[in-house]
Chain A
Amino acid sequence: MNPKKNKEEIYARHVASAKAIRHLSSWGETLAEIMNPEGKPEVLDDVLVLDASHANFSGIIASSFFAEFGAEVIKIEPNEGDPARKMTPFGANVKGVGIPFMVEGRNKRYMTLDLKNNEEDREVFGKLAKQATIVIENYAPGDMDSWGIGFRQLSHENPGLIYIAVTPYGQYTDKAKEFANLPDSDITTQAGSGLPAQIGDPATAPDPYNWPLRAGPWMGWYISGLSAALGGSIALVYRQNTGKGQMIDIAGMDAYSSMVGFPASIGYTWEKARPRIGILDFILYPYGHWKCKDGYVAIAAPRDHDFRALIKILGLWKIEDDWRYTSDRIPDVLDQAMALHKLIEAKTMQYTSDELVEKALAYSKKAARSKWRGGGVPIIMKVMTPDKTMGNRQWTTRKAFQEVEDETLGKYVISSGFVKMSESPPRVKWVSCDIGKDNDYIREKYLHGG
């Protein structure tokens, strides 16, 4: 899929003029230079975050985002360590630390305090919270409050405090009270917020393929964590302008439904739930993946001119005058949509993924420079597995992955460069996460050695 030549190919018509190409070529070089994070200021260098979350990655992920943008993040855990350290695929670990914890241990300080059982530790936490900008916690709603270190008490002493609580059903409502003891996990967050209901084969497929299916990545926890960081950032801007803090309530059971919004609105206008439709898409066709000679390709050619371009390059032009394919590709009649799917598959099976990608790009390149504007852009992309993405030139150029090194954990690679910013970019500086490793540093810096 990598173009062999160094000359850049153009696939979009608006940038195809010689003048635009000249400008973009130098602009591209400028960008590669100005987006380098080294030596740049860190936006949150005036922010102290206390992450008291436990047995839960939403809090850890939220505090990672703050740490990547330069906040001082203190992760608080009891002497035996956060159970999140042991959540890891098939038990894979390095010296007792699981892989997700190694990945999310970004630029953090580690302090041991037992908030659940130790009164003195709660007092220490209270002293730290007086100086903190953000507190993150995920105890049962009301627990921290009953220990005297909830939002109500902490904000009294520190009115600028932003207090983020993450639980399955939130901090208020009857259900939040009734289900206060319910702990959180990724799969229950996914299920309760409506994600698995949209994944899987149609009802006619055999068990278990017709079941709702969990998303492979930790979509529940990552969405909750991202939402916590986003809510916290809105509160940070407000605090910067007014000095006022506030409480932020994240309910895991909102994760998917509030991120995409479709379940609530479709449930209302359609008055029923969408059925599962396998590999098809509710709105666009073609918009999915197909088998080819050496793996899979993703194909997106949903607009009419894209679709016509696709059937042209696949040698399927003979179906162009069949209304079932050119005028009615919406998969509300599954059999019809699957029939077209099979027609396309018979063609994709004749080529390798590279050949298919090349065909689509060659067509788009020609269409971009053609005076006739009905060309369409059939997009074909090889379906990558995460390990295959790591060596890709695009991501090495953009430093999407980073090799980190730690005395305890050794060397390993994480994905890190998730957004490029010219002035105050995020970055990963260290990953060390030994339990209590910064106890002295923190007591010295914030507790006058006490």
Chain B
Amino acid sequence: MEDYFSYTERLFNPSKAVEKPEALKGIRVLDFSHVIFGPTAARIMGDYGAEVIKLELPFYGDLWRPATYWGKYWKHSNPIWHFVTKNKYFVSVDLKLPKAKDLILRLVETSDVVVENFAPGTAEAWGVGYSQISKVNPRIIYLSCSTYGQYGPLRFFPGWDLLAQAASGVLSLTGYPDTEKFYKLPDYLGDFVPGNIGALAILMALYYRNKTGKGQYIDLAQSEALMRILFHHTYHNLTGEELGRTGNSDPTMVPASIFKTGDEKFLALACATKDQFEGLLDAMGREDLRKDKRFTNTFDRLKPENAEALTGIVADWVKIHDCEEIVKLSNSKAFPAAEVMDDYQICHDPWRRQRGSVILFNDDMYGEFVLAGPSAQLSETPSRNKWLARPLGYHNRIVLKKFLGMKEEEIDDLEKKKVIGTFDDKPGLKPPVYYNMDEDPIYNYGKEAMK
């Protein structure tokens, strides 16, 4: 039989990904959403082959377009926005105008999914909510994303990732015990995790529609999505105590902490089972601890005083060994260990490049760029990258003309009435300076035919 790793290498070969089928081909997603939460749900659909049409306001665009870290732009674009909104069609329409509503309802007729994350009630007030859109297309799957949900006494409370972290309790959990030091989850995880749950809900609704023909409404509150990933409520309910913050140690297993190594690196090391603990003791040459009554039974080992003692013993051992040496031992003795990785290491890690979890992508407009690969590698229908984010209104013509079959005069009229529009000179909205938009066949779609 073929060696397992040569079999899997063939099965997953990232260089063959573009030749494989797309799982969501033929699905059209209308993406009214902005910033990260809604756009992430829609983007995941696009990564697997759905046609995602993102609608933005002319001359303003998505709030997140200009929001880059420390104000650093890359080729006049926001580098972190490329990951958030790749593979989408960028159409710029003024949703509030009655003419735009006609346009949207025409798109709705041929769409499968709508995603929005306006302040709750806004889409309904504009006439593009589920109650209105489901009348035009009863098969529609409509995902509304918000911080508190579309019903309930707090539904109109304003919110973002941070406020969902505060409202769900997540914000209080990362930091040091008995101090005032605590931190939010970074990089808008309070948007990304719920955004992925939004994609999961859409897929479940698609599966249901394939069986029954029925569309449905999905109300996703990011605070509730964040509460789903906590066992802290149950801990409180059963013990009467707050689990609170536990610093750099995971209180569910011992040892399980971030330590400093002899060569001044940071290393996470854990033992989730008895076997792993014995592997560690073997690696440390501390067979004696195996008989130590404080540590033999798992539940005893987890008691705070015993956990602290054991964590101290491990810290002393880690401190006099190099990171690489411990990582090697962890593999041979089978206990979990990993160096704390930073942005630079992740970007340049050969394993991630080979695997396709960090991808050097060559884009038609922006050239070379590094994107994170998918969270899940699929052997038969892998995700793929087609294009990065595009300037505001870049796909106006192709969507109106090709997808909706509009005539040139109609498009002119919409432009004149400012129903549709494009970018102005703001970074994040406009193309890179070196790029000649006049010669771009997609931006100018259908103009040739006029001549």
A208's closest neighbor in chain B, by CB?
Answer: B248
Q: Are B340 and A191 in contact (CB under 8 A)?
A: yes
Chain B 351-388 near chain A by CB (<8 Å), digits 1 or 0: 11011011100000000011111111111110000000
Complex CA distance for A231 and B200, rounded to whole angstroms: 9
Chain A 235-261 near chain B by CB (<8 Å), digits 1 or 0: 111101110111111110111011111
Contacts of B4 in A (CB 8 A): 141-142, 145-146, 150, 152
Which of A10-18, A119-127, A314-322, A442-450 participates in binding chain B? A10-18
Question: Shortest beta-carbon distance, A314 to chain B, in Å?
Answer: 17
B333's closest neighbor in chain A, by CB?
Answer: A181
Query: Is A131 at the interface (CB under 8 A from chain B)?
Result: no
Q: Are B200 and A230 in contact (CB under 8 A)?
A: yes
Assuming the contacts A56-B272, A141-B4, A192-B341, asked whether A247 and B169 have C-beta atoms less than 8 A apart, the reply is no
Q: Are A169 and B351 in contact (CB under 8 A)?
A: yes
Question: What are 13 A-B residue pairs whose CB atoms fall within 8 Å in the complex?
Answer: A90-B302, A91-B303, A94-B238, A98-B252, A177-B5, A187-B268, A199-B186, A215-B174, A249-B376, A260-B192, A264-B371, A300-B160, A413-B233
Which of B78-86, B397-405, B416-424, B436-444 participates in binding chain A? B78-86
Query: Is A23 at the interface (CB under 8 A from chain B)?
Result: yes
Question: Shortest beta-carbon distance, A177 to chain B, in Å?
Answer: 5
Chain A 86-100 near chain B by CB (<8 Å), digits 1 or 0: 111111111000111
Assuming the contacts A175-B351, A261-B372, A412-B238, asked whether A12 and B268 have C-beta atoms less than 8 A apart, the reply is no
Complex CA distance for A67 and B193, rounded to whole angstroms: 19
Task: Given contacts A199-B185, A415-B224, list 13 more A-B pairs with CB under 8 A.
Answer: A12-B156, A24-B125, A31-B151, A89-B235, A90-B302, A91-B298, A172-B355, A226-B197, A249-B12, A257-B357, A270-B343, A298-B166, A422-B217
Query: Is B262 at the interface (CB under 8 A from chain A)?
Result: no
Complex CA distance for A229 and B72, rounded to whole angstroms: 35
A91's closest neighbor in chain B, by CB?
Answer: B302
Chain B 54-87 near chain A by CB (<8 Å), digits 1 or 0: 0000000001000111111010000110111000
A87's closest neighbor in chain B, by CB?
Answer: B252
Query: Is B284 at the interface (CB under 8 A from chain A)?
Result: no
Q: Which interface residue of A17, A216, A282, A330 has the most chain B CB atoms within 10 A? A: A216
Assuming the contacts A213-B174, A400-B227, asked whether A184 and B192 have C-beta atoms less than 8 A apart, the reply is no
Question: Shortest beta-carbon distance, A436 to chain B, in Å?
Answer: 20
Q: Are A279 and B183 in contact (CB under 8 A)?
A: yes
A257's closest neighbor in chain B, by CB?
Answer: B346
Contacts of A185 in B (CB 8 A): 250, 253, 256, 268, 270-272, 336
Query: Is B239 at the interface (CB under 8 A from chain A)?
Result: yes
Query: Is B296 at the interface (CB under 8 A from chain A)?
Result: no
Complex CA distance for A235 and B442, rounded to whole angstroms: 31
Contacts of A69 in B (CB 8 A): 204
Contacts of A191 in B (CB 8 A): 258, 266-268, 338-341
Which residues 16-45 of A sit at the B interface, judged by CB distance below 8 A?
17, 20, 23-24, 27-32, 34-35, 41, 43-44
Query: Is A8 at the interface (CB under 8 A from chain B)?
Result: yes
Select B83's contact among A201, A265, A421, beta carbons within 8 Å: A265
Query: Is B99 at the interface (CB under 8 A from chain A)?
Result: no
Q: Which interface residue of B150, B234, B339, B348 has the most chain A CB atoms within 10 A? A: B234
Assuming the contacts A199-B186, A226-B196, A383-B166, asked whether A393 and B154 have C-beta atoms less than 8 A apart, the reply is yes
Select B379's contact among A98, A187, A208, A247, beta carbons within 8 Å: A247
Complex CA distance for A28 and B334, rounded to whole angstroms: 54
Complex CA distance for A283 and B252, rounded to whole angstroms: 33
Contacts of B79 in A (CB 8 A): 265-266, 268-269
Q: Are B299 and A262 in contact (CB under 8 A)?
A: no
Size of interface on B: residues with Cβ below 8 Å to A: 185
Complex CA distance for A412 and B235, rounded to whole angstroms: 9
Q: Are A268 and B347 in contact (CB under 8 A)?
A: yes
Q: Are B239 and A230 in contact (CB under 8 A)?
A: no
Question: Shortest beta-carbon distance, A51 to chain B, in Å?
Answer: 16
Q: Are A273 and B344 in contact (CB under 8 A)?
A: yes
Complex CA distance for A399 and B134, rounded to whole angstroms: 25
Contacts of B376 in A (CB 8 A): 227-228, 230-231, 234, 248-250
Q: Are A394 and B242 in contact (CB under 8 A)?
A: no
Query: Is B317 at the interface (CB under 8 A from chain A)?
Result: no
Which residues 218-262 of B sit at the A interface, judged by CB distance below 8 A?
218-221, 224-225, 227-239, 242-253, 256-258, 260
Contacts of A384 in B (CB 8 A): 166-169, 171-172
Select A272's contact among B163, B343, B352, B359, beta carbons within 8 Å: B343
Query: Is B52 at the interface (CB under 8 A from chain A)?
Result: no
Contacts of A237 in B (CB 8 A): 23-24, 203, 206-207, 210
Q: Are A217 and B204 in contact (CB under 8 A)?
A: no
Contacts of B15 in A (CB 8 A): none
Assuming the contacts A173-B351, A234-B203, asked whether A187 and B270 have C-beta atoms less than 8 A apart, the reply is yes
Query: Is B176 at the interface (CB under 8 A from chain A)?
Result: yes
Contacts of B187 in A (CB 8 A): 198, 260, 262
Query: Is A222 at the interface (CB under 8 A from chain B)?
Result: yes
Contacts of A417 in B (CB 8 A): 224
Complex CA distance for A327 and B379, rounded to whole angstroms: 49
Chain A 65-78 near chain B by CB (<8 Å), digits 1 or 0: 10001000000000
Complex CA distance for A175 and B252, rounded to whole angstroms: 28
Query: Is A388 at the interface (CB under 8 A from chain B)?
Result: yes
Q: Are A181 and B331 in contact (CB under 8 A)?
A: yes
Q: Are B380 and A20 in contact (CB under 8 A)?
A: no
